[in-house]
Structure 1
Amino acid sequence: MGLLGILAGLGLLVFLSYRGWSVLLLAPAAALVVALFAAEPLLAHWTITFMSSAAGFIAQFFPIFLLGALFGKLMEDSGSVTAIARFMTDKLGTRRAMLAVVLSGALVTYGGVSLFVAFFVLAPMAAVLFGGAGIPRRLMPAALALGTSTFTMSAMPGTPSIQNAIPMPFFGTTPFAAPGLGLIASAIMLGFGLWWLGRAESRARAAGEGFGELLPTPAGAVATDELVRERATVSQAFDPAEAIHGAPGTSPPPVAAAFAPLVVVIGVNLLMSLVLLPRMDVSYLAEPRFGPTVLSAVGGVWSVSVALAAAIVTVVALNFRRFPALRSSVDAGANASVLPILSVASLVGFGSVVAAMPAFEVVRDWVLGIGGGPLVSLAVATNVLAGLTGSASGGLTIALDSLGPTFMQIAADYGIDPALMHRIAVMGSGTLDMMPHNGAVVTLLAVCGCKHRQSYFDLAMAAVLGPLLALVVVIVLGSVFGSF
C-alpha cells in the first residue's frame, strides 16, 4: 500500500498541477495522500517532515531566488536586455536570424537574467528577425528555448542558474564543477540544436512556408494569465505576473553598459569560487550559532549571491538615470521571487514526505539498481523526477534530498569526483523537465503566439533530445576519464 500511495500522490500532483491548480496546495495534499496510504501520522508529516524540508530549502536558496529575480527585472527595466538583443540583431542580421536569437538568449541567461524576463524581451526581437528572414513563426519557441533553457542553464561552467546552485551544498562543489565536461556538453547542445533548427528552416523554405501572420506580442496577456502563472512558477525563479510591473526606461544604454553587469556576474562568481573563498578564514562556521556547518555547504550559494549582488549594483550605477522609478522596479523584482521559491519549496516538502515512507526503500533500490553504474542512476533519477514535476529545480532537489547522501557514499566508494556527480545531476534535471506541461514551455509558446501542435516537436528536438545526447556523452567521458 505504501508504494501505491507514493504513485497516487505523485499522480495527483502531476495531474492537477497540469490543470492549473496551485502547487502550494497540491504538494501538501499529495503528501498527505502518500502518508495516508502508508498509515503514517498525517499532521506530523505535514507540519514537521513537509514543512521542515520546505523551510530548509527556502533558508538555503532564497538569496539566489531573490537576487536573481531582482537582477533580471533591473536588466529589463534599464533597457539592457533590449540593447543586447539589438546589438546581436545588428551584428548578425536577418541572414543569421536563427543564430542571433539563440546567442542573444544564451548571453543574457548565462549572465544571470531570469528566463522569463528573457522570454518577454527577446520574443518581439525574434518575431522581427524571423519575419524579415521569412522563417516560420512556429520555430521561434525552439530557438528561444535552445538559447535560454539548455546549455546556459545546466552545462556552462559557472552559470548562476538555480539548477546549478542546488547540488553545491549536497556535493560540496562550486558553480564551476567539471568545467571541461560542461563545455563539451554545451558544444553538443548548441551544435545539435543549431543543426536541427537549420534543417527545419531549410525544409520550410523548400516547402514555400513563410513567417505567417504577424501577431501582436501577447506578453502582457501572458504575464497575467493565471494558468500560465501557476505552471511557470514551479519551473523558474521569476513570477510572470511581475513582468508587467515596475517602470521600464525608454532609452536603452550603450551596448558596453548593457554587457557590463553580465561580465560582473561571471567574473565575480569565478573570483569568489576559485580565489577568495578558498583563502578566507571561515573557522567561525564551526560555532554552534552557525549550525555548525562547513564552507563546502554554503560556499557555492555565497559565490552566486555575491556575484548577483555585485551585478545589481553595477546595473543600477550604470543606468541610474534611465530608471523612471527605481523603487518600483526593485519592488517588482523582489516580489517576483516569492511565489517561485514557495512553489519549489512545496515540491521539495512533498519529496521529503515520500522519502520518509518505508516503501521508498523500494524506489531507492530500483534507482540504484539501474544498469550502468551510479552516474546512470543519478541521471535517470533527476530526469524522471524533473519530467514528472515539470520542474528542473524541484525534481533535482527532491532527487538529492532523498538520494544525495547515498550517492555521496557511492561516490566515495567508487572514487568518483563529486564535481562529476554535480554536473550530471544538473544536466539530468535539464532534459525531460521540458515536457509539454512544463511552465517554461507553456509560457514560451504563449509569448510566441504558437500552439503545442505547431512548435513542440522542434522545441523538444532542440531542448530535450540535444541535452539528452550531451548527457550521454558526459556520462561516457566521465566514466572513462573522470571529472575534468
Structure 2
Amino acid sequence: MIGLIGIVLSLILLMYLAYKGFSVIILAPLLALFAVMWSGLSNELLGMYSQVFMTGLGGYIIKYFPLFLLGAVFGKLMDDSGSARTIANFFVDKLGHKRAMLSIVLSCAVLTYGGVSLFVVGFAVFPIAAALFKELDIPKRLIPAAIMLGALTFTMTALPGTPAIQNAIPMPFFNTDLYAAPGLGILASIFILVTGMWWLNRRIKTASSQQEGYGQHIESHPHLNSVGSTDPSLIIAMIPILVVIITNLVLTKFILPSLDTAYLATDKFGNTSLNSVIGLWAIICALVLACVTIIVLNWKQIANIKDSIQQGVSSSFLPIFNTASEVGYGSVIASLAGFIILRDFLVGVAPSNPLISEAIVINVLAGITGSASGGLSIALNTMGETYMNLATQFGISPELMHRVASMASGALDSLPHNGAVITIITLCGLTHKQSYYDMFIVAVIIPLFALSGVITLGTIFGSF
C-alpha cells in the first residue's frame, strides 16, 4: 500500500510541476525514482534509471523518432513555402466572412489531417483568424477554441488515416494501421465537428447580443500581416497534403501487403511481423515523399531550403524527448508492485468490457501528464498487452481497441497544463481566464461524449 501511495504522489507531483513549467525531461526520471524509493527499493535506484527508465525512453525513440522528425520537417516546409497560408486563405475566401468560424476550423483540420503540426498550423492560421474576427467584430477569445477544434480533436484521434502520432502509437500494440475502425472514426469526427461548430456559433451569437465585440488587443504576433504575394497557388499547396493521404493509403492497403516480408520473423529483425510495422512504414514513406514534393514544387518560394530543413529537424527533438521521458517514467512505475494493485483496480472497473477500462486509464494518464501522446504511450507500454489479451478473451476487434485508445488520449489531455493549450493561448496573446472555457468544451467535453458514443456503438455492433 505504501508503494501505491508513492505512485499516486509521484503522479500528482508530475502533473503539478509540469503545469508550473518544469521540464518533463528532468521531472520524469526524478519522480520515477521518487516512486521507487517509496516502494522500499532504494538500493535499486541506479538500476531502475539505467536499465528500466532509459530502456523505456530509448525504445520509444527507436520506434517513433522518424514520425516526429519527418512531421516537423514537413510542417516547417509547408510553413516556409507559404502553402499553409494559401490553404487557410482559400477557406476564408470560399466560405465567406459570414462563415468565419467554420473557415478557420476547416483550415486547421485540412492542414493537420495532411500531417502539418499544430504549431505550424497555429502560426499560419492565427493571423488570418485575427484579421477576420476583428473585421467581423467576433470576440478574439474564441480563436483558440476554433484552432483547438480543427487541429486537436477529430483530426488528431478519430478521423481514420490521420498521420498524427496519437493515431500511430496504438498500431504496434494491436497490429492495426492508421485506418482502424473507419466507420466509427468518421461518425465520431462528424459528431465532434458539428457539435463543436454548434457550440462556437452559439457563443458568437451570445457575444453579439451582449455587444461584446472583438475586444481591445495589442496585436504583437510577428506573422500578423505575413500573407505574401509569392505564396503558391492552391493546387501547389494542396499537392503535398494529398501526397501524404494517398501514399499512406496505397502503401497500407495495397503495396506493402504484397511484398515478401517473411524475413521480419527472423532474429535479425526482432521476430516481428508486417502487421506490427506496416502503419509506421507507410506514414514514414508518405512523409518523405511529401517533403520532397514540397521542395520540388516550391524551390523558389522557400528562401533557404537547407535552413528550413535544419529548423524542422531541431524542432523535433524537444517533443519526442518530452514524450519518451514520460514513457520511461511509465516503464519504471509499471515495474513496481504498487502498480499491480492499481492495474488490477483499473481493469476491474468494467470487467466484462475492457473498452471502458482502456478509455479511463488513457484519459487519466493523458490528463495527469498533460499530453495525449505521453498518456497514451504510458498506458499502452504498461498495459497494452493486457488489453490485447482481454480483447481476444471477449472477442473485441483490435481495430476497435485502437480507435478507442486513440480517441481516449484526446480528451482530458487538454486540461489547463497541456503544452498545446498553453502554446495556443500564448500565440493568440490571451489568457486562460479569457479563452480556456471554450477550449475546454470543444477539446475535452465534446470528445468525451464522442468517445462514449464509439464505445457504445462498438460494444453493440462491433468494429466497422
TM-score over 0.5 for the pair: yes
Q: Which residue of 2 aligns with 1:376?
A: 356
**Please, which runs of 5 or more residues in structure 1 have no aligned partner?**
222-246
Alignment match of 1:444 (pick from 421, 424, 439): 424
2:410 corresponds to 1:430: yes
Q: Could you tell me whether the CA contact under 8 Å between 2:78 and 2:84 is conserved in 1?
A: yes
Partner SS for 1:253: coil
Secondary structure in 2 matching 1:135: coil
- How far residue 287 of structure 1 moved from its aligned partner, in angstroms, is 2.2
Q: Which amino acid aligns with 2:13?
A: L
Q: Distance in 2 between matches of 1:217 and 1:329?
A: 24
Matched, 1:356 2:335: yes
Superposed, 1:26-175 pairs within 5 Å as 26-40=27-41, 41-175=44-178
Distance in 1 between residues matched to 2:427 and 2:449, nearest whole Å = 28
Q: Which amino acid aligns with 2:320?
A: I
Report percent identity of matched pairs: 50
Whole-angstrom CA distance in 2 between matches of 1:277 and 1:417: 22
Q: How far 1:121 sits from its partner (Å)?
A: 1.2
User: Deviation per CA, 1:28-72, whole angstroms, max 9, x where unpaired?
Assistant: 000110111112210111000000011000000001000000000
Amino acid at match of 1:141: P
Residue 217 of structure 1: how far off its partner (Å): 4.0
Residues 13-36 of structure 1, C-alpha deviation per residue, up to 9 Å, x if partnerless? 111111111111110000110111
Match of 1:243 in 2: none
How much has 1:185 moved relative to structure 2? 0.3
Paired residues of 1:347 and 1:394 also in contact (CA < 8 A): yes
Task: Output the aligned Cα RMSD.
Answer: 1.5
1:179–1:217: structure 2 CA closer, same or farther, 3 Å change rule?
farther
Does the CA-based 8 Å contact 2:101-2:146 persist in structure 1? yes
Whether the aligned pair in 2 keeps the contact of 1:8 and 1:33 (CA below 8 Å) is no
**2:183 paired with 1:206:** no
Task: Give the equivalent residue in structure 2 for 1:272.
Answer: 251
**Equivalences, count:** 459
What residue identity is the alignment partner of 1:462? V
| Maintained 8 Å contact 2:81/2:232 | yes
Is 61-70 or 287-296 further displaced after alignment? 287-296
Distance of 1:217 and 1:368 partners within structure 2: 49
Deviates more, 1:323-332 or 1:1-10: 1-10
1:396 aligned onto 2:376 = yes
- Of stretches 387-396 and 357-366 in structure 1, the one that deviates more from structure 2 is 357-366
| Mapped contact 2:85–2:227 kept (Cα < 8 A) | no
The answer to whether the 8 Å contact 1:424/1:475 transfers is yes
Partner of 1:3 in structure 2? 4
Read off the aligned partner of 1:281 and give its amino acid letter: D
Return the alpha-carbon distance in structure 1 between the equivalents of residues 33 and 198 of structure 2: 47
| Residues 388-397 or 316-325, more deviating | 316-325
Question: Is residue 326 of structure 2 the alignment partner of residue 326 of structure 1?
Answer: no
What is the alpha-carbon distance in structure 2 between the residues aligned to residue 293 and residue 157 of structure 1? 24
Does residue 473 of structure 1 match 2:446? no
User: How far does residue 106 in structure 1 lie from its aligned partner after superposition?
Assistant: 0.3
Which piece of structure 1 moves more, 275-284 or 27-36? 275-284
Closer, same or farther: CA 355–220 of 1 in aligned 2, 3 Å: farther
- The counterpart of 1:315, out of the listed 272, 291, 294, is 294
TM-score computed with the length of structure 1 as normaliser: 0.93
**Could you tell me which amino acid in structure 2 is paired with residue 127 of structure 1?**
A
- Cα distance, 1:218 vs. partner? 3.1
Q: Which residue of 2 aligns with 1:231?
A: none
2 CA distance for matches of 1:410 and 1:217? 53
Structure 2 unaligned blocks of 5 or more: none
- Does the 8 Å contact 2:370/2:414 carry over to 1? yes
Q: Give yes or no for contact 1:219–1:447 (8 Å, CA) kept in 2.
A: no
